[in-house]
């Protein structure tokens, strides 16, 4: 795998030092995380040792991490300055998210009691969970997309689908003009017209597979015995169009899935912020000491 | 057809409605509207993107959350809905008590404010003594309920210690500097974390918090914890017991088994160290051997009031008149003034002068009657004794009590330090914000109970009878005496006192003994056992003449259960104690100890003193400590038996008992035998408690002393390794608070 630019924080750090294989690249980020965890544990112990309220240490550390996590969204909206590639920021976001989990457990355990704290806890776990889901999807999607033909932007896919559909339609008209290839036109009318003109079902958009494509291409190949040489050429072109259309559907499903996870990850952030502010204020109001 | 770059950005809430049909508008949508001019025939209906839906959802949830929080805000001071977690079991009723039982629960509007000063709805600020305490507002609220269990909690000082105790503690701390710690105040919530759920034990403190000050850090109890230097520490003793001597000498002689559990194990109650006590009762542990000698010493009784013998003839030769004085005590100069008589005579200036002029030995036989001044002093003495007895006979117990009270007050006044403590008990009440009910009636104190028991034990009728027997009827106050019927008891060697209720036989009225020498007559009787009461009654009824010749009473025969009688031979009022731990006698022995000039009390009877002092030590400090009633006194032998406002006889006897640490007392180190004794290998006490080397128990300097407060130990110190074999993190636990208390009453290496 050749990469022309670093895409993760680990790569960025290590490439600046040596630039070796990807397995080695991840290590510095984990080392940083371990150092951060050690620092947090030490600060907590120090605070306990001076008879302070250690919940404030872990709480404010958590708040700081949340601000750092929110920086990715800000970075994406700022284009005026040279702040480095978003991929590096995103990688840092992922590692900070993992570190956030540690800080949260240190601060509040798995799930706190109380109304506000419980709601806050649930929001946290939801955001963190969708964050991890996004992380997983983001890591796996490029490989899947590369396997599904040339890269295409999500916003260009509808137009590309129309083009493929139009080509398929013209091909079917050509096939209808000859007796030895009319079966292609018949097949287009009965099966392929819907395939090229309608959206794929919900199940496919969630978990895309090549089953439909394989079935259609197999059906087309079964028509070969009714075709002459020209008809066989038309059939191969139709098979290619089915393949292209399926790739577009596949890319659309994968990219939509990524977008959906990202949307799920962010749409509770506002509520989370409100409850965080309320929690911090109440903690200061009710606690007798830091 | 190339799509516009407008659509390439994912951060758009809408996209063109024609994009799906391959003809997106060139300018893209403007918000919800199409970006094309209205005149353009190809306008679209923009479609909300996934980003748009996400942003809409974010706004809705944010707004909803904000409304939810704002709805709670106006009632944030009193709503338990803001509780961050369930309270511990002990505090749960603060939040979850039902309003129906408003007497016992807190109103919902005041529940948070009960512990959180920032949300006080009652508007109360610290008042009075609370305004001057060191701790913060929340801790003050804690102390509203916990003041009785942690009385020094208001100080907020390390371990609740102050003064010398705090300095002693600070000397053991390496870092931070002792001065820094001394100026530091601690808040309850620094260690006790609430809202951790009902299953949380608030008293469980992490070892890390202890090490905030105790910076001599170590890995665990087994690795690095300081050694147990001389643990358990030797403590002052109030009862003498030499384990080695008893085991090797007394028990060995009787071929008896020396089993620790006989004396130290209780099956019915628990002490501060579990069901093991420093000692169990006299009856269980000591009576088997010590009761008989004690009875022997008591059988003759104690001459509480005894007239000395004065030589009337020689005084008259000096031209002096002795005045009314019993014939039996008028032959020679002999005897010694009874301790009580001395104290009573010393109440007046004249009396003290008379006593000062007596021989230093106190023996009247040493008085030189040829010296007229000394002879006059003797007549003065006789007059004073007569006068005191007359007052006693007239006024009875009130006079006696008043006298005793004055004497005790003098002692307390002569010891300003004690007096200051005594007075301070009333003026410096422990801080408490609870309302107190004041009752005008005088409060019973330990001192008043103590005086009551002393005066109440002396029979007034017998006092009058004694006076009449010795001097005739008193001239003054005779009217008062006449109002009461005095039953005249028999007169032999001993005259037994009877109350008016049980003297029914006229024949028992006072009759002088017909025998010229009652002592000789009694001598036969002394060798014979008394007949059963029924048999005596039958004999009396059968032969009325014999009924009149009542046998003289003998203390050991006729008063086996204790009581008073008049001894005409000794010219004394005699008291026979009711066995071990006689209430009246203990009070008088305490009083005598308090009045004595040194720690060696001048008690009534040498043989009895010996029996008492053989085991007990009741020094002045210990007795005076009873009246102070300060449960947190430095003297460990006086600790916490008696809250000052609830005196009882049992508490009064505290200084006679072996010191048992109260469960209310908190020392720095705690230990309970109970869980340890469930381990079979530890059931033998000597597994842990090894006797010191043999020479120790026989070394006189090592054993018991008459002072009674010698601190010594007959056992070897415990070894940390013994405990550490089980007390590890994985096994029996090794946290600091498993063996140490934070809230302590006193700090000393001796406890």
pLDDT digits (tens, 9 = 90+) for B660-704: 776 667 778 888 888 888 888 888 888 888 877 655 444 444 444
- Burial (Cβ within 10 Å: 0-12, 13-18, ≥19) of residue B543: exposed
Test A275 with B59 for CB contact under 8 angstroms: no
- pLDDT single digits (tens) B515-535: 333 333 333 333 333 344 444
Please report the ipTM that was assigned to this predicted complex.
0.81
Q: Which of A114-123, A158-167, B103-112 has the lowest mean pLDDT?
A: B103-112
Test B208 with A278 for CB contact under 8 angstroms: no
Over residues B425-432, mean pLDDT:
39
Answer whether residue B59 shows pLDDT above 60.
yes
Over residues A221-245, mean pLDDT:
90
Torsion of CA B413, B419, B420, B424, to 10 degrees: -130
Angle subtended by helix axes A211-222 and A229-266, to nearest 10: 170
- Would you say how long chain A is, in residues? 290
Question: Same structural domain for residues A103 and A163?
Answer: no
Over residues B735-742, mean pLDDT:
86
- pLDDT single digits (tens) A31-50: 888 999 999 999 988 888 77
Q: Give the CA distances from residue A275 to residues A218, B75, B181, B196, in Å, rounded to whole numbers and listed in that order.
A: 56, 17, 38, 20
- What number of CA atoms fall less than 13 Å from residue B730's CA on the CB side? 1
Cβ contacts of B229 within 8 Å, gap of 6 or more:
B717, B749
Question: Same structural domain for residues A31 and A99?
Answer: yes
Please state, in angstroms and rounded to a whole number, the distance separating the CA atoms of residues B143 and B430: 11
Q: What is the pLDDT of residue A42?
A: 92
The answer as to whether A39 is a domain residue is yes
Q: What is the pLDDT of residue B742?
A: 85
The neighbour count for residue B661, using CB atoms within 10 Å, is 19
Please state, in angstroms and rounded to a whole number, the distance separating the CA atoms of residues A123 and B651: 62
Question: Same structural domain for residues A165 and A91?
Answer: no
CB contact burial A72-108 (16+ within 10 A = b; e otherwise) = beebeeeeeeeeeeebbbbbbbbbbbebbebbbebbb
Angle subtended by helix axes B397-414 and B372-395, to nearest 10: 120
Test B85 with A114 for CB contact under 8 angstroms: yes
Residue B195's closest chain A neighbor by CA? Answer: A113
Question: Same structural domain for residues A105 and A168?
Answer: no
Test A45 with B208 for CB contact under 8 angstroms: yes
Q: Are B453 and B587 in contact (CB under 8 A)?
A: yes
Reported confidence tier of residue A8, pLDDT bands at 50, 70, 90: very low
Please state, in angstroms and rounded to a whole number, the distance separating the CA atoms of residues B447 and B115: 40
User: What 3-state DSSP class applies to B585?
Assistant: helix
- pLDDT single digits (tens) B207-220: 877 877 776 667 78
The answer as to whether A170 is a domain residue is yes
Facing B8 at nearest CB: one of A76, A153, A286: A153
The answer as to whether A15 is a domain residue is yes
Chosen for mutation from A255, A278, A280, A284 (greatest number of chain B CBs closer than 10 Å) is A278
- Of A110, A135, A163, the position where a domain reaches its end is A110
Judge if the upstream peptide bond of residue B232 is cis by omega within 30 degrees of 0. Answer: yes
Nearest to B674 by CA among B221, B231, B272: B272
Percent of chain B scored above 70 by pLDDT?
64
**Helices marked H in B118-162 — which ranges?**
137-146
Residue B78's closest chain A neighbor by CA? Answer: A286
Q: Which of residues 296-325 of B touch A (CB under 8 A)?
A: none
Q: Are B704 and B613 in contact (CB under 8 A)?
A: no
Mean pLDDT, chain A, as a whole number? Answer: 84
Q: Which residue has the higher pLDDT, B9 or A169?
A: A169
Closest-CA distance, B685 to chain A, in angstroms, reads 39
Chosen for mutation from A109, A286, A287 (greatest number of chain B CBs closer than 10 Å) is A286
Facing A289 at nearest CB: one of B187, B206, B212: B187
B384: part of which helix (H) or strand (E)?
Answer: helix B372-395
- Of A76, A110, A144, the position where a domain reaches its end is A110
Cβ contacts of B383 within 8 Å, gap of 6 or more:
B323
Answer whether residue B434 shows pLDDT above 70.
no
Q: Which of B190-204, B208-222, B230-244, B486-500 has the lowest mean pLDDT?
A: B486-500
Q: What is the pLDDT of residue B327?
A: 87
Question: Same structural domain for residues A164 and A97?
Answer: no
A273 CB within 8 Å of a chain B CB = yes
User: What 3-state DSSP class applies to B49?
Assistant: coil
Among B266-270, B409-413, B673-677, B689-693, the range with the most confident prediction by mean pLDDT is B673-677
The neighbour count for residue B673, using CB atoms within 10 Å, is 19
Reported confidence tier of residue B246, pLDDT bands at 50, 70, 90: confident
B287: part of which helix (H) or strand (E)?
Answer: helix B287-298
B92 CB within 8 Å of a chain A CB = no
Which residues of B are less than 8 Å from A282 in CB distance? 76, 82, 84
- pLDDT single digits (tens) B548-591: 455 556 666 778 888 898 888 888 988 888 888 888 888 888 88
Phi, psi at residue B115, to the nearest 5°? -125, -20
Chosen for mutation from B2, B26, B56, B69 (greatest number of chain A CBs closer than 10 Å) is B69
**Helices marked H in chain A — which ranges?**
9-15, 22-25, 27-49, 54-77, 86-108, 115-147, 157-176, 182-187, 193-197, 202-206, 211-222, 229-266, 269-286
Which residues of B are less than 8 Å from A287 in CB distance? 189
Q: What is the pLDDT of residue B88?
A: 83
The answer as to whether A274 is a domain residue is no
Q: Output the six-digit token pair for B352.
A: 């003290």
Reported confidence tier of residue A244, pLDDT bands at 50, 70, 90: very high
* Full DSSP string of B440-461: -SPPP-HHHHHHHHHHHTS-HH
Please state, in angstroms and rounded to a whole number, the distance separating the CA atoms of residues B165 and B748: 7
The answer as to whether A266 is a domain residue is no
Facing A155 at nearest CB: one of B8, B69, B136: B8
Nearest to B559 by CA among B540, B542, B579: B579
Question: Same structural domain for residues A1 and A68?
Answer: yes
Total domains, chain A? 2
- Of A110, A142, A171, the position where a domain reaches its end is A110
Judge if the upstream peptide bond of residue A254 is cis by omega within 30 degrees of 0. Answer: no
Question: Same structural domain for residues A1 and A76?
Answer: yes
Q: Are B535 and B586 in contact (CB under 8 A)?
A: no
User: Measured in whole angstroms, how far is the alpha carbon of residue A11 from the centre of its chain?
Assistant: 19
Chosen for mutation from B15, B65, B95 (greatest number of chain A CBs closer than 10 Å) is B65
Chosen for mutation from B54, B181, B210 (greatest number of chain A CBs closer than 10 Å) is B54
Torsion of CA A59, A64, A68, A73, to 10 degrees: 70
Chosen for mutation from A41, A51, A160 (greatest number of chain B CBs closer than 10 Å) is A51
Closest-CA distance, A163 to chain B, in angstroms, reads 8
B406 CB within 8 Å of a chain A CB = no
Q: Which residue has the higher pLDDT, B130 or A216?
A: A216
Closest-CA distance, B200 to chain A, in angstroms, reads 13
Q: What is the pLDDT of residue B521?
A: 36
Test B190 with A289 for CB contact under 8 angstroms: yes
Closest-CA distance, A172 to chain B, in angstroms, reads 20
B573: part of which helix (H) or strand (E)?
Answer: strand B572-576
Facing A270 at nearest CB: one of B58, B85, B190: B58
Test A112 with B212 for CB contact under 8 angstroms: no
Q: Are B615 and B286 in contact (CB under 8 A)?
A: yes
Chain position carrying tokens 């009910």 = B437
Test A114 with B19 for CB contact under 8 angstroms: no
Closest-CA distance, B43 to chain A, in angstroms, reads 17
Facing A270 at nearest CB: one of B20, B61, B187: B61
pTM comes to: 0.61
Answer whether residue B8 shows pLDDT above 60.
no
Nearest to A255 by CA among A175, A156, A181: A156
Q: What is the pLDDT of residue B439?
A: 43
Q: Which of A204-208, B150-154, B178-182, B477-481 has the lowest mean pLDDT?
A: B477-481
B17 CB within 8 Å of a chain A CB = no
Please state, in angstroms and rounded to a whole number, the distance separating the CA atoms of residues B660 and B235: 11
The answer as to whether A13 is a domain residue is yes
Q: What is the pLDDT of residue B163?
A: 75
Q: Which of residues 181-220 of A touch B (CB under 8 A)?
A: none
Question: Same structural domain for residues A160 and A227?
Answer: yes
Q: Are B228 and B715 in contact (CB under 8 A)?
A: no
Over residues A183-199, mean pLDDT:
90
Question: Same structural domain for residues A205 and A101?
Answer: no
Q: Are B341 and B305 in contact (CB under 8 A)?
A: yes
Over residues B295-303, mean pLDDT:
84
User: What 3-state DSSP class applies to B397?
Assistant: helix
Facing A288 at nearest CB: one of B69, B84, B187: B187
Over residues A153-182, mean pLDDT:
87
Cβ contacts of A239 within 8 Å, gap of 6 or more:
A217, A220, A221
Domain range for residue A232?
A: 154-254
B143 CB within 8 Å of a chain A CB = no
The answer as to whether A279 is a domain residue is no
Over residues B67-87, mean pLDDT:
76
Reported confidence tier of residue B496, pLDDT bands at 50, 70, 90: very low
A78 CB within 8 Å of a chain B CB = no
Answer whether residue B418 shows pLDDT above 60.
no
Facing A259 at nearest CB: one of B10, B22, B209: B10
Q: Which residue has the higher pLDDT, B234 or A174?
A: A174
User: Measured in whole angstroms, how far is the alpha carbon of residue B250 from the centre of its chain?
Assistant: 33
Torsion of CA A41, A47, A51, A52, to 10 degrees: -120
Reported confidence tier of residue A287, pLDDT bands at 50, 70, 90: confident
User: What 3-state DSSP class applies to B213?
Assistant: coil
Reported confidence tier of residue B195, pLDDT bands at 50, 70, 90: confident
Which residues of A are less than 8 Å from B139 in CB distance? 288
Q: Are A270 and B64 in contact (CB under 8 A)?
A: no
Test A51 with B191 for CB contact under 8 angstroms: yes
Which residues of B are less than 8 Å from A114 in CB distance? 82-85, 195
A266 CB within 8 Å of a chain B CB = yes
Q: Output the six-digit token pair for B749.
A: 């290496």
First-to-last C-alpha distance (Å) of chain A? 52
The neighbour count for residue B377, using CB atoms within 10 Å, is 18
Question: Same structural domain for residues A103 and A160?
Answer: no
Q: Which residue has the higher pLDDT, A178 or B484?
A: A178
Q: Output the six-digit token pair for B162.
A: 């102050």
- pLDDT single digits (tens) B620-647: 777 766 666 544 443 444 333 344 445 5
Q: Which of residues 177-206 of B touch A (CB under 8 A)?
A: 186-191, 195, 197, 206
Question: Same structural domain for residues A105 and A181?
Answer: no
B65 CB within 8 Å of a chain A CB = yes
Reported confidence tier of residue B712, pLDDT bands at 50, 70, 90: low
Reported confidence tier of residue B194, pLDDT bands at 50, 70, 90: confident
Mean pLDDT, chain B, as a whole number? Answer: 71
The answer as to whether A133 is a domain residue is no
Percent of chain B scored above 90 by pLDDT?
4
Question: Same structural domain for residues A106 and A158?
Answer: no
Closest-CA distance, A285 to chain B, in angstroms, reads 6
Cβ contacts of B596 within 8 Å, gap of 6 or more:
B602, B620
- pLDDT single digits (tens) A42-91: 998 888 877 888 889 999 999 999 999 998 888 887 777 777 888 888 88
- pLDDT single digits (tens) A204-231: 988 898 899 999 999 999 988 888 888 8
Facing B84 at nearest CB: one of A117, A260, A268: A117
Q: Rg (Cα) of chain B, in Å, rounded?
A: 41
Test A115 with B81 for CB contact under 8 angstroms: yes
Please state, in angstroms and rounded to a whole number, the distance separating the CA atoms of residues A165 and A184: 15
Answer whether residue A174 shows pLDDT above 80.
yes
Please state, in angstroms and rounded to a whole number, the distance separating the CA atoms of residues B270 and B674: 9
Q: Output the six-digit token pair for A285.
A: 């109001």
- Burial (Cβ within 10 Å: 0-12, 13-18, ≥19) of residue A182: middle
Please state, in angstroms and rounded to a whole number, the distance separating the CA atoms of residues B646 and B207: 39
Q: Give the CA distances from residue B77 to residues A289, B69, B102, B235, in Å, rounded to whole numbers and listed in that order.
A: 18, 13, 20, 52
Q: What is the pLDDT of residue A227?
A: 84
User: What 3-state DSSP class applies to B33?
Assistant: strand
Test A259 with B187 for CB contact under 8 angstroms: no
Closest-CA distance, A125 to chain B, in angstroms, reads 16
């Amino acid at each position: 795998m050749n990469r022309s630019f670093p895409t993760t924080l680990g790569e960025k750090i290590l490439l600046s030092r040596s630039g070796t294989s990807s397995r080695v690249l991840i290590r510095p980020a984990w080392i940083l995380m371990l150092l951060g965890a050690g620092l947090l544990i030490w600060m907590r112990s120090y605070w306990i040792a001076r008879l302070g309220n250690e919940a404030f240490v872990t709480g404010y550390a958590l708040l700081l991490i949340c601000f750092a996590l929110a920086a990715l969204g800000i970075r994406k909206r700022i284009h005026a300055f040279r702040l480095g590639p978003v991929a590096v920021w995103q990688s840092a976001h992922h590692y900070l998210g993992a570190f956030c989990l540690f800080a949260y457990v240190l601060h509040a355990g798995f799930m706190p009691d109380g109304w506000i704290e419980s709601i806050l806890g649930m929001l946290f776990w939801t955001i963190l969970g969708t964050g991890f889901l996004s992380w997983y999807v983001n890591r796996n999607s490029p490989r899947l997309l590369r396997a599904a033909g040339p890269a295409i932007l999500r916003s260009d896919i509808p137009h590309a689908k129309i083009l493929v559909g139009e080509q398929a339609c013209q091909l079917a008209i050509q096939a209808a003009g000859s007796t030895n290839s009319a079966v292609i036109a018949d097949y287009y009318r009965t099966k392929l017209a819907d395939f090229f003109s309608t959206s794929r079902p919900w199940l496919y958009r969630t978990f895309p597979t090549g089953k439909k494509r394989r079935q259609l291409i197999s059906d087309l190949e079964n028509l070969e015995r009714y075709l002459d040489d020209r008809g066989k050429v038309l059939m191969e072109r139709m098979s290619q169009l089915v393949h292209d259309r399926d790739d577009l559907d596949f890319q659309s499903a994968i990219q939509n899935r990524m977008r959906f996870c990202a949307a799920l990850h962010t749409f509770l952030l506002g509520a989370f912020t409100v409850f965080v502010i309320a929690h911090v204020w109440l903690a200061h109001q009710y606690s007798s000491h830091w | 057809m190339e799509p516009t770059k407008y659509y390439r950005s994912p951060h758009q809430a809408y996209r063109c409605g024609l994009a799906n049909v391959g003809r997106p508008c060139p300018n893209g949508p403007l918000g919800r509207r199409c970006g094309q001019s209205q005149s353009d025939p190809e306008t679209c209906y923009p479609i909300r993107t996934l980003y748009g839906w996400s942003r809409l959802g974010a706004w809705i949830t944010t707004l909803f959350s904000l409304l939810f929080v704002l709805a709670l805000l106006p009632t944030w001071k009193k709503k338990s809905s803001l509780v961050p977690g369930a309270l511990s079991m002990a505090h749960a009723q603060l939040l979850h008590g039902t309003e129906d039982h408003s007497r016992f629960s807190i109103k919902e509007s005041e529940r948070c404010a009960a512990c959180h000063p920032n949300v006080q709805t009652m508007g109360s600020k610290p008042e009075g003594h609370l305004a001057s305490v060191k701790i913060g507002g929340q801790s003050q609220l804690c102390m509203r309920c916990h003041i009785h269990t942690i009385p020094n909690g208001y100080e907020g000082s390390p371990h609740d210690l102050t003064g010398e105790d705090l300095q002693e503690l600070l000397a053991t701390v390496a870092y931070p500097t002792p001065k820094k710690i001394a100026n530091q105040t601690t808040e309850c919530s620094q260690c006790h974390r609430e809202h951790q759920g009902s299953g949380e034990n608030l008293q469980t403190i992490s070892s890390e918090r202890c090490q905030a000050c105790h910076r001599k850090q170590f890995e665990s109890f087994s690795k690095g914890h300081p050694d147990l230097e001389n643990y358990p520490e030797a403590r002052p003793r109030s009862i003498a017991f030499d384990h080695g001597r008893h085991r090797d000498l007394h028990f060995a002689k009787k071929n008896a088994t020396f089993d620790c559990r006989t004396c130290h194990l209780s099956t019915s109650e628990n002490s501060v160290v579990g069901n093991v006590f420093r000692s169990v009762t006299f009856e269980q542990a000591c009576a088997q051997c010590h009761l008989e000698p004690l009875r022997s010493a008591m059988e003759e009784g104690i001459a509480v009031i005894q007239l000395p013998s004065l030589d009337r003839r020689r005084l008259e030769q000096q031209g002096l008149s002795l005045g009314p004085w019993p014939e039996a005590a008028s032959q020679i100069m002999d005897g010694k003034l009874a301790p009580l008589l001395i104290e009573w005579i010393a109440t007046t200036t004249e009396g003290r002068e008379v006593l000062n002029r007596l021989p230093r030995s106190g023996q009247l036989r040493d008085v030189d009657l040829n010296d007229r001044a000394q002879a006059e002093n003797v007549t003065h003495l006789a007059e004073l004794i007569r006068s005191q007895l007359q007052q006693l006979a007239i006024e009875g117990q009130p006079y006696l009590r008043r006298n005793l009270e004055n004497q005790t007050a003098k002692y307390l006044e002569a010891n300003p330090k004690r007096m200051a403590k005594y007075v301070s008990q009333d003026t410096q009440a422990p801080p408490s914000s609870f309302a107190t009910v004041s009752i005008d009636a005088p409060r019973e104190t330990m001192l008043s109970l103590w005086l009551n028991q002393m005066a109440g034990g002396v029979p007034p009728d017998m006092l009058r009878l004694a006076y009449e027997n010795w001097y005739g009827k008193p001239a003054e106050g005779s009217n008062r005496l006449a109002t009461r019927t005095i039953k005249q008891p028999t007169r032999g060697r001993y005259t037994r006192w009877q109350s008016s209720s049980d003297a029914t036989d006229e024949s028992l009225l006072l009759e002088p003994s017909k025998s010229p020498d009652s002592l000789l007559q009694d001598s036969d009787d002394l060798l014979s056992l008394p007949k059963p009461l029924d048999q005596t009654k039958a004999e009396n009824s059968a032969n009325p003449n014999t009924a009149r010749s009542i046998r003289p009473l003998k203390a050991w025969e006729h008063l086996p259960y204790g009581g008073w009688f008049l001894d005409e031979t000794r010219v004394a009022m005699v008291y026979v104690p009711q066995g071990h731990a006689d209430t009246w006698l203990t009070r008088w022995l305490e009083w005598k100890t308090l009045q004595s000039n040194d720690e060696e009390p001048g008690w009534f009877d040498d043989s009895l003193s010996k029996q008492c002092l053989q085991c007990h030590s009741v020094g002045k400090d210990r007795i005076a400590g009873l009246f102070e009633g300060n449960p947190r006194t430095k003297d460990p032998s006086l600790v916490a038996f008696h809250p000052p406002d609830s005196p009882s006889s049992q508490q009064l006897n505290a200084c006679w008992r072996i010191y048992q640490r109260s469960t209310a007392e908190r020392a720095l180190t705690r230990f309970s035998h109970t869980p340890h004794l469930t381990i079979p290998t530890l059931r033998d006490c000597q597994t842990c408690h090894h006797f010191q080397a043999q020479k120790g128990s026989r070394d006189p300097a090592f054993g018991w002393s008459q002072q009674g407060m010698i601190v010594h130990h007959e056992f070897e110190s415990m070894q940390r390794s013994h405990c550490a074999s089980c007390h590890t993190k994985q096994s029996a636990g090794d946290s600091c608070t498993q063996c140490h208390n934070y809230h302590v009453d006193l700090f000393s290496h001796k406890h």
